Structure 1
Amino acid sequence: MKSPQPLFVLLIAAFAVASPARADEVSLAVAANFTAPMQKIAVEFEKETGHKVLASYGSTGKFYAQIKNGAPFEILLAADDETPARLVKENAAVAGSQFTYAIGKLVLWSARPGFVDGAGEILKNGTFDHLALANPKLAPYGAAAVEAMQALGVYDRLQPRLVIAENIAQAQQFVSSGNASLGFLALSQVLKDGKIEGSAWMVPARLYQTIRQDAVILERGKGKPAAAAMLKYLKGDKAQAVIKSCGYEL
């Protein structure tokens, strides 16, 4: 006759079967231009890992200030590569965790079909009232817009017509609402099902520095399984397919 298994062994076995791997939360600070792809990625990431994504969207410059002031973010998905590198140098982010998750594309966009021509000549002929862009001191896409206008020789002339938004999401709102006739945005913001709504000019990459968007694990995310899982997922095929479909290069 076999002796019964000890009760604690049975309890441990039952617990192992009934309980999945421990899920956790990961807090992200995400550049506003990456809102749409991050929302899609977060859904699939949560399904596959069980971890919950808590994402905040805004300008990279403001996130830097918040992180330095103790904001509880564990990962930064910046709109540039300089801010993550600066945080690593200042011991506010984990050395060796920084990588480029996307390369952004700048576009001049209007909600009105046929309003922006395919060569960007509208910037030179000035047939518009206001031009929106993200704050160039805080948002890399805003800085890229200024670079492009300077390269075209129109920046000084257009300055009185510029409407400066807090971030690139607000710049899009200004254009969509009609408060600005057109604006400099990220291609990802105006690309819907592979097509651009309204009218747009793809700003040639030679007119601005490459918008290399880097992610990095912050000190609060150091050693956290959910943070490590998110960075690993961003490098995977599924996330990269979403990123590419939203108008970024890899």
Structure 2
Amino acid sequence: MAMAGCLLGMAWQAAHADTVPVAVAANFAAPMQKIAAAFEADTGHKAELSLGATGKFYAQITHGAPFQVLLSADDTTPARLEREGKAVANTRFSYAIGSLVLWSAQPGYVDAQGAVLKTGDFRHLAVANPRTAPYGMAAMQVMDKLGVSAALRPRLVQGENIAQTFQFVSSGNAALGFVALSQVMVDGKISQGSAWQVPAHLHAPIRQDAVLLQPGQGKPGALALLQYLRSDKARAIIQTYGYSL
């Protein structure tokens, strides 16, 4: 009887498990993939992840894309969607605060103070598109604060999102670039190359908000995912990638 009850419980869970389409800011790809695996194992619901730039997700959502949850790279896009009736009121919360790094795949190339921005003879500096990617906007703010924007503008190469920006640098097409700390951190340490962790006072806080979108209203899987993001297990994963909470 106990075995039969267990099998019935598993069958009920499978029958009621949801697939949740989730729009995920590119900087949060690695932690969210781990969280999604744990979420499925713990709840039976599956998070179907789409990765990209927050600004592009905004355009897709306003044109009817069926995402149920948005994990944004900023806090302004979810608030805007809420005001426009595309997101469910009172479901928005900050799931992480991001950190920006100046990174090179070459060990020893980027110094611990970021002076290479003024002294380096590099040809290309990669940044994410500041119009669609909050990490790109933060990078431009840093260069403005340091007074190097005019000098560096001819050397900038723009990635469509922070994932493409990272690819420019990791492939060597750009000697260095501004990327998310989460992209180069493993188990609390920068795993490769050389980096300058940009002090938080040099740019506006990269507060990343999650929100339930209208297609997810009343969907158990979407609601469960938002709750799971606040769990101790998810928060521990998030912190190992260099985010603060």
**TM-score class normalised by the smaller sequence:** over 0.9
| Contact map agreement 2:70 2:213 (CA 8 A) in 1 | yes
Using the alignment, how far apart are the partners of 1:14 and 1:124 within structure 2?
A: 64
Matched, 1:181 2:194: no
Match of 2:12, SS?
coil
Using the alignment, how far apart are the partners of 1:15 and 1:101 within structure 2?
A: 35
Per-residue deviation, 1:192: 2.0
Using the alignment, how far apart are the partners of 1:204 and 1:165 within structure 2?
A: 22
| Contact map agreement 2:124 2:155 (CA 8 A) in 1 | yes
Per-residue deviation, 1:53: 1.3
Using the alignment, how far apart are the partners of 2:88 and 2:196 within structure 1?
A: 38
Q: Of residues 17, 22, 46 in structure 2, which corresponds to 1:28?
A: 22
Q: Of residues 39, 43, 53 in structure 2, which corresponds to 1:49?
A: 43
Using the alignment, how far apart are the partners of 1:70 and 1:205 within structure 2?
A: 35
Q: Hey, what does 2:232 align to over in structure 1? A: 237
Between the aligned residues of both structures, percent identity stands at 62
* Deviation string, structure 1 residues 182-228 (Cα, Å, up to 9, x no partner): 00001000012322110000111110000000000000000100000
Map 1:96-115; keep pairs closer than 5 Å: 96-115=90-109
Question: In the alignment, residue 197 of structure 2 is paired with which amino acid?
Answer: M
Q: Hey, what does 1:7 align to over in structure 2? A: none
Question: In the alignment, residue 110 of structure 2 is paired with which amino acid?
Answer: V
Structure 2: tracts of 5 or more residues without a match: none
Stretches of 4+ moved more than 4 A in 1? 13-18
Map 1:53-68; keep pairs closer than 5 Å: 53-68=47-62
Matched, 1:150 2:144: yes
Q: Hey, what does 1:3 align to over in structure 2? A: none
Structure 1: tracts of 5 or more residues without a match: 1-12
Using the alignment, how far apart are the partners of 2:10 and 2:231 within structure 1?
A: 29
Question: In the alignment, residue 62 of structure 1 is paired with which amino acid?
Answer: K
- Report which of the two structures shows the higher radius of gyration computed on alpha carbons: 1
Match of 1:248, SS?
coil
| Contact map agreement 2:31 2:237 (CA 8 A) in 1 | yes
Using the alignment, how far apart are the partners of 1:100 and 1:135 within structure 2?
A: 23
Map 1:1-250; keep pairs closer than 5 Å: 19-21=11-13, 22-196=16-190, 197-250=192-245
* Deviation string, structure 1 residues 58-84 (Cα, Å, up to 9, x no partner): 000000000001111000000000000
RMSD: 1.4
Q: 60-69 vs 19-28, which deviates more?
A: 19-28
| Contact map agreement 2:186 2:240 (CA 8 A) in 1 | no
- Structure 1 residues 181, 56: CA separation in 2 closer, same or farther (over 3 Å shift)? same
Match of 1:96, SS?
coil
Per-residue deviation, 1:20: 2.4
Per-residue deviation, 1:127: 2.2
Match of 2:209, SS?
strand
Question: In the alignment, residue 190 of structure 1 is paired with which amino acid?
Answer: V
Per-residue deviation, 1:158: 0.2
* Deviation string, structure 1 residues 71-111 (Cα, Å, up to 9, x no partner): 11000000000000000000000000000000000000000
Aligned length: 238
